[in-house]
Amino acid sequence: MEFLSEYGLFLLKTATIAVVIIIIISLLISAGQRQRSSSKGDIKVVNLGEAIKDNSQSIKNEILTNAEYKQLLKEEKERDKQQEKEAKQKLKQAKRSSSKTVAETEISKATVEQVAADKVDQESINSESESVESGEASEAVESPKRMYVIDFDGDIHASGVDALREEVTAILATANQGDEVMVRLESPGGLVHSYGLAASQLKRIRDAGLRLTISVDQVAASGGYMMACVADDLVAAPFAVVGSIGVVAEIPNFNRLLQKANIDYEQHTAGQYKRTLTMFGQNTTVSREKFKQELEETHQLFKTFIHENRPNLDLDKVATGEHWYGRQALELGLVDKLQTSDDVILDALNSMDVYSIKYEIRKPLTERLSINLYQAMDKFVLRWIQRSSQTNIFK
């Protein structure tokens, strides 16, 4: 009897746990579906100036004495107060200037109405007074210039272009005249149409009148250079790989292997050049020549695009499919300056605020939980293996 009661209690506990697990899974699935119906991702903004400042203070906190560090914090606090005070004064001056200009504009209107004999165009005076008003207000308060930093890590499909287009759109909707954009670009190239779209996204920045700096720390080759050449300023690290202005296509052919195995392969097309080279059929000389012609046409489009963006380049010399390191690329005119992206940011911080902009695609809750579960299991197995190895060593 006691055994039956304990067994019944065990079954009850098991059923309760099962019901709880089912409810949790249902909630996760429901949350994942709601999340998929909402926006795909979010823009993350990081003030790089503040981040660098925080890191610097962490180091100073360790290397300075307590008295020196307190004095440093005091000086920085006073400096921040002074800057805030100056910003408030500029804002007050702007308001006064704006109100004064409005008063002068009304007086000028009354004067025009009274002096009709002078035949002065009232509309011209109104437009002049409005331009004076906007001009003085803009001079009184100059918003701080900003640099927006984007990261692009390219693969063969340029899959980062989905995030890139969101980042560019967000910046163009926010930036003021005089702001700049910097792209930290890393890509060995890939599909022509994919990188053509990525380059077009960067061209949107220049077309909007914002200065574009592209920095290459490691590689910008082939399609990566197609993107990089759009920049107003193209910066590369001394040993970054740049160039590879060419087109390549590779395709294996298994036709002879199929013939040995007595396997027939048929392919039917409508249109003379619907297919040129194939993997399983017998390729002809005409097909090969047509395929090479298409490669040459693509290469010519590539060179034309680069010439439009960097007209001083000697394309006969650099559009050979070769790549060069940063120093050589500078001599050939492929880049404008040798510098790392870190130094570009530090230089920009002397005259403007710098912000990192990143579009993060939101993963469903179920996917994130499965990833976390996988990582936890991976860590558990790794620790178990390490402990087993240690036990064997000590044995």
Task: Yes or no: say if 203 and 215 are a contact pair by the CB < 8 Å rule.
Answer: no
Other CB atoms within a 10 A radius of the CB of residue 359 amount to 20
Beta-bridge partners for 186 = 153
Residue type, 35: Q
Task: Yes or no: say if 195 and 158 are a contact pair by the CB < 8 Å rule.
Answer: yes
Q: What whole-number distance in Å separates Cα of residue 295 and Cα of residue 252?
A: 17
Rounded to 5, what percent of the chain is helix, strand, coil?
60, 15, 25
Catalytic (active-site) positions:
222, 274
Q: What whole-number distance in Å separates Cα of residue 235 and Cα of residue 330?
A: 9
Task: Yes or no: say if 120 and 149 are a contact pair by the CB < 8 Å rule.
Answer: no
Q: What whole-number distance in Å separates Cα of residue 188 and Cα of residue 223?
A: 7
Q: What is the DSSP string of 120-177?
A: --HHHHHHHHHHHHHHHHHHH--PPPEEEEEEEE--TT-TTHHHHHHHHHHHHTTPPT
Residue 28: which of 16, 36, 38, 39 has the closest Cα?
Answer: 36
Q: What whole-number distance in Å separates Cα of residue 339 and Cα of residue 336?
A: 10
